[in-house]
Amino acid sequence: MAKTEDYNLGEFTFPRGWFMIADSQELQDKPLALKFFGRDFALYRGESGRVVLLDAYCAHMGTHIAKNTTSFVVMDGQIEGDSIRCPYHAWRYGPDGKCDDIPYHDGPIPEAACIKSWQVEEKYGCIFVWHDPEDGAPDYDLPDMPEWDDPAWVRWQIDHMGELDTHPKEIIDNIADIAHLGPIHGSTLEYFESEFRGHIAIQRQGGGHKTLVTSNALLETDTWYTGPGVLMSTVKGLYDALMLITHTPVEDGRVKVWHALLVKSDNEKATEADIETARGYQEMSCQAFWQDFDVWSAKRPAVQILQLKNDGPFHKAREWYRQFYNPRAQATERQSKTDGVYTVDWMPALPEAVAAQGHRY
């Protein structure tokens, strides 16, 4: 397992950005104990529906707030309003992380009775956190997805791909990787190009595909990272679809991964049959992603790539990724080193007719 330092990514062990930490459906009336970025968290949903992420350990004596099943505090329901009680001595913390009640204490609550509260956002059935080693506010937004609220589209159910003893860098390489599309995914490529623009990294490709289209049709995808951990792709194949792949560092050199697919039906409002079709298509998409996963789960780290000219712009993708491991004050200068469109000699760039249809990014 290689670490951030081995890849020479930058000053920070974990990157700045928006990262998925949970599937909304996992978060019911009990808090979840999570581990990401090498630290422990307690995630819960307040009675108003608000999602709250706190560091896991109580300021009093260090109890893990979300890892207890036997305390009467927990058995009686530890969430009150949008606050949560610690299992050990029942101190209660608000969504801002400040202790707002100590049952056996009169007088003011000490300032230090506080745990860090993290900025979270719930969107398209996922819960995201803003992680920043410099503790700044978000410098970009999560992508919008109006299709989520369009009844013609079948909402996804998230595929939990699990964790890999792999640095997320190895996953990022995929955005530039033209030469794996044939061997791994069975594509017969007709065009391919890469673009980096600020905090966005894009791949546009089209070609035949063994599973996701019928015999002569093209599978066309427009795929983009918004920051280092959230990938979306508009997929034109058997159906119009939007793919989501998210990955979040658990520890240095270990990553957790999710996949999902939103599928457009032919009806104004998707029917039961459309939902079934969409689930089947998501399964096929998941299998296609599994082909990448299969390699990642058993490869040694590619700290150095034995790179060929026609491999696609791995070096640009790696440079692009470095901006998130370094102070944001350097981001603009770093982006200027990678901003641009990149093609390889052996494959045409995006055809004008396709470009004319417009793309999301």
Question: What residues line the site for ligand FES (CB under 6 A)?
Answer: 58, 60-61, 63, 86, 88-89, 91
Please name the amino acid found at residue 3.
K
The tokens describing 298, both together, are: 């058993």
Under 8 Å between Cβ of 165 and 254: yes
Which contiguous run of DSSP H or E holds residue 243?
strand 240-251
Question: Shortest approach of ligand FES to residue 150 CB, angstroms?
Answer: 45
The DSSP-derived string for 88-112 is TT--EE-TTSBEEE-TT--SPPPTT
Binding partner at 58 among ligand FES, Fe ion, none, C-beta below 5 to 8 Å by kind: ligand FES
Binding partner at 292 among ligand FES, Fe ion, none, C-beta below 5 to 8 Å by kind: Fe ion
Nearer to ligand FES, 7 or 41 (CB): 41
Segments in 152-225 forming alpha helices (H): 168-172, 181-185
Nearer to ligand FES, 61 or 217 (CB): 61
Q: Which of 59, 27, 58 is nearest to 43 (CA)?
A: 27
Choose the binding region for Fe ion from 6-14, 173-181, 189-197, 309-317 (rule: CB under 5 A): 173-181
DSSP symbol at 319: H
223: helix, coil or strand? strand
Question: Which class for 115: exposed (0-12), middle (13-18), buried (19 or more C-beta within 10 A)?
Answer: buried
Q: Of residues 279-318, which lie at the interface with Fe ion (CB under 5 A)?
A: 292
193 part of the interface to Fe ion, by CB under 5 A: no
Please name the amino acid found at residue 151.
P
Q: Quickly count: other Cβ atoms within 10 Å of residue 292's Cβ.
A: 19
Question: Shortest approach of ligand FES to residue 201 CB, angstroms?
Answer: 43
Question: Shortest approach of ligand FES to residue 26 CB, angstroms?
Answer: 24
Nearer to ligand FES, 61 or 303 (CB): 61
132 part of the interface to Fe ion, by CB under 5 A: no
Under 8 Å between Cβ of 267 and 178: no
Q: Which of 153, 144, 152 is nearest to 124 (CA)?
A: 144
Question: Shortest approach of ligand FES to residue 73 CB, angstroms?
Answer: 9
Nearer to Fe ion, 274 or 292 (CB): 292
Binding partner at 61 among ligand FES, Fe ion, none, C-beta below 5 to 8 Å by kind: ligand FES
Q: Which residue has the tokens 């109580």?
A: 58
Under 8 Å between Cβ of 314 and 302: no
**Cα–Cα distance measured from residue 136 to residue 133, given in angstroms and rounded to the nearest whole number:** 8
**Cα–Cα distance measured from residue 355 to residue 193, given in angstroms and rounded to the nearest whole number:** 11
Nearer to ligand FES, 58 or 158 (CB): 58
Under 8 Å between Cβ of 187 and 211: no
222: helix, coil or strand? strand
Binding partner at 86 among Fe ion, ligand FES, none, C-beta below 5 to 8 Å by kind: ligand FES
Question: Shortest approach of Fe ion to residue 174 CB, angstroms?
Answer: 5
220 part of the interface to Fe ion, by CB under 5 A: no
Nearer to ligand FES, 56 or 201 (CB): 56
Question: Shortest approach of ligand FES to residue 70 CB, angstroms?
Answer: 15
Nearer to Fe ion, 195 or 292 (CB): 292
Nearer to ligand FES, 88 or 290 (CB): 88
Binding partner at 89 among Fe ion, ligand FES, none, C-beta below 5 to 8 Å by kind: ligand FES
Question: Shortest approach of ligand FES to residue 50 CB, angstroms?
Answer: 22
- What is the contact surface with Fe ion in residues (CB under 5 A)? 174, 292
